[in-house]
Chain A
């Protein structure tokens, strides 16, 4: 066994726990998970059946954690994992999976296949088989401050802009405030309007907040690539900044995987509870709405539909909140088919968007979204993840579809009630 294969197998071995063992023991090969997967739906290629994407993890479990498998191994009938196996799995584990979570919802025996794909990626990256683009992003993020490179100048400039636009003071590193705002690189680089939008909403609601100059970026390529060490390192930055500033809560931005990484994986990566709470920006806005601190006036008369980011709704449990908010400001809100918990992925989550090799699969997957949007024929698509926003915008353009895409926070700010 070569050193890289051994590292990969070791990493997979560490991932086996009771849930994984119960999932593999229960799989009846019914194939029902295939139809849940956007990549199978749009290619009809059986290799994209979700449970096939975790085959190496299954083999490690069978070889090493079952009595029967161990006996088979001892008499030389075991199924050794090779370098070629890892190579073959690359396009299944990374290119044709956005970790959207749909397969997990339909498996009749209850297998959380998506969670196992997350685990598979730990083995793949340890064996040196992660996509180069993700490895590059991880390097940029761990040595700098964002997966896109150094954004410290950009964030300063964008905050200055927001102050000039709104006339509201925004302070970096202000201790003792209630909330720490962190942003996604995509927002800073492409949709910085969200900063001004939050400033306006929070100003009206009396929410005190700050941005940490040492940890202003929330994305975590570690959870996409499947590297616990990278993931832990990046989460630790935010945790340290938040605990240093003694904030009560950290606001997870409009970014799907950042929410998974920060709120659900983070405490387990660092091995302890946080000294603060994590809320998603849309959860917070909905709470402010319920408390009467977020009031709007007027409504958008466009035909609007909503795109649920997988990591925030299906894998994150935030489903009703954006709908309650959107109904405050949209006159003509129409849902697409399967909207809500079973919404289809934007086609590029989970690292697929950055992975050039997966381009044709991403384009194929978007066709499903395209058909759904065509049925509703909206003027505008609202979402709550900057990366979904970015993906949809580009894909719509590539497909000659003239539909505007907007972030929900900005949209709420646009219709903020003007009392004075």
Chain B
């Protein structure tokens, strides 16, 4: 029997997924190598502090905002945390996702219950919408944001929304919704290397460099 929804799902998780994965992996690799090959000049100044240690430390410590920052930018910071944490819970701790990752890589870990996954998804979507709102409303962020940035934020929310709808069979044909879910993930992977989504990998480099530059002088970072 011919079921176009099923065909779409098979396409999204079959050939398109493979292409998306290839673009994602190759793209990220190119972007990272493109940065690293630029290198940096040897620093001849005599170090006062410990650049390497402080660089590594800063990768972790910069996760936490300075005192007073949350009060000044509550939506961006709290929304940012909730969105990132929620996204990764839904992505990495949902049992069917783990099964898929195991299929691809052989790695697996325990998942968490549906309640946690769904709670995290809802919170992440609300946080994402709040981030969209402050981008649009706040004059500083509005001026910095390009249309690609808006698009990327919306594209990051789609897997969460479609996944929630498909798993809970909220509306529409469940197979079709699942196809949309996988499609949204494919698209996210394809745009990833060309957009600010790259920060998910390069932030560690940026924080390291910042910490090591400051650390050389014995200054905080």
Contacts and interface: CB of A to CB of B under 8 A. Distances in A.
B144 A49 contact: yes
Interface in A146-201: none
Nearest to A17: B40
Contacts, number: 170
A68 B45 contact: no
Contacts of A107: 62, 210
B34 A65 contact: yes
Contacts of A318: 218
A30 B76 contact: yes
Interface string A7-38: 00000000011111111011111111011000
Contact of B143 (A46, A277, A316): A46
Contacts of B175: none
Contacts of B38: 16-18, 20-21, 65
Interface residues of B, number: 60
Interface string B34-70: 1111111101111011000000001100110110010
A273 B44 contact: yes
A319 B46 contact: no
Nearest to B36: A18
Interface string A265-276: 111101111100
B141 A108 contact: no
B107 interface: no
A301 interface: no
B140 A317 contact: no
Contacts of A23: 206, 209
Interface in B107-152: 135, 138-146, 149
B71 to A, nearest CB: 10
B181 interface: no
A28 B217 CA distance: 27
A403 interface: no
Interface string A96-128: 000000001111111110010000000000000
Given A30-B76, A31-B140, A31-B141, A109 B44 contact: no
A307 interface: no
19 contacts: A22-B35, A23-B206, A23-B209, A27-B196, A34-B140, A52-B144, A66-B34, A67-B31, A108-B63, A108-B80, A110-B62, A111-B210, A268-B41, A270-B44, A314-B220, A316-B217, A317-B48, A319-B220, A341-B219
Q: Sort A-B residue pairs by CB-CB distance and give the 5 closest, nearest first.
A: A110-B207, A317-B218, A317-B219, A267-B44, A19-B209
